[in-house]
Amino acid sequence: MMLAALYEPVMAWCMPSISWSVRCHRPRQRNSSACRRLRLAFPLRQALAHMVERIESDDLGLMVTAINIQHEVGGNLSEILETISNTIRERVRIKGEIQVMTTQQRYTGYALVGMPFILAVIISVINPGYMSEMFQPGWPMFIPIGALIMIFMGFILMRKMIRIDF
């Protein structure tokens, strides 16, 4: 996916003999701004940096950095891009695995939050007098209010523990 976004700027650097009309014939592509900048004789580094600013992708930033380093130092661009594409694929796979693991924990949290309410309904159906004692005026009313506050705080704490920023 990101390789397609960098194809034309890379080809512009690798094969200067191909005309710009052939390389930049799709104005709706995201990298048309980079092609336009290259046509206006902006340096490759500046055109790619502008593309990274517009698209705001860490993967694209990684590829542009590698292309810029390769442009200055030299080397095998295809090997560098292949390594980066493998890295990006592996990162996407790991993000998917993390999402699956955190989803399981999130649903466990939902079950733990819902369990007291379900048990309260079951106990109310089995023995209505038992639960009605907690809803009497006075200090017994603090029991369900305290329970709701603690359930809410536990739910927020579980959400914070499960959240993983990529």
Going from N- to C-terminal start, the domains of the chain cover 2-75, 97-162
Helices (H) and strands (E) in the chain, counts: 8, 0
Give the confidence band of 161 by pLDDT, cuts at 50, 70, 90: confident
Contact between residue 22 and residue 11 where contact means Cβ atoms under 8 Å apart: no
Query: In this predicted structure, which of 49-53, 69-73, 111-115, 138-142 has the lowest mean pLDDT?
Result: 49-53
Q: Is 114 a residue whose pLDDT tops 70? A: yes
List b or e across 3-15, with b for residues whose CB sees 16 or more CB atoms inside 10 angstroms. Answer: eebbebbbebbee
Q: Is 64 a residue whose pLDDT tops 90? A: no
Q: How far apart are CA 35 and CA 9, in angstroms?
A: 7
Distance of CA 56 to the CA centre of its chain: 12
Give the pLDDT of residue 33.
67
Mean pLDDT, residues 113-141 taken together: 87
Phi-psi region of 142 (alpha: psi -120 to 50; beta: other; left: phi over 0): alpha
